[in-house]
Amino acid sequence: MERLCQNESALEFVFVAELVGFPPRIIGEGRICPDALGETAEFCVVVADPWQGKGLGRVITDFCLDQARSLGVRRVIAEINPENIRIISLLLSRGFILHRDRQDLALFAELVLREPAAH
């Protein structure tokens, strides 16, 4: 668990969903990894197979997006497998816009949390 929660930078946020028991089991994880300026953050969410389709991904996603907002992140991005219908549906329901790569191998999702400051 310690390795999973290790942050790469002071701005990175890791949220872990843990099933209480002996031993405790991690059943989901979400990350917000802002760039050096804190303007754009990569987002990822992973839910263990037995817990998929039960709302855990939504809870983790919403928590991570709230955290990104509180960090002042302007834009959240994610790279997703085009076959992962659940995450595509979830991200679309949260306002993400999807873009395909040129080889049609990946989807890129983008959510603007706030517009850039006018100069």
Q: Is the pLDDT of residue 55 over 90?
A: yes
In-domain check, residue 65 = yes
Q: Side by side, which strands form the sheet with 107-112?
A: 13-19, 25-34, 40-47, 75-80, 107-112, 97-100
Domain with 28, as residue range(s), is: 13-112
Its pTM stands at: 0.83
In-domain check, residue 8 = no
Q: Is the pLDDT of residue 102 over 90?
A: no
Q: Is the pLDDT of residue 82 over 80?
A: yes
Number of domains in the chain: 1
50 — pLDDT class (breaks 50, 70, 90): very high
In-domain check, residue 3 = no
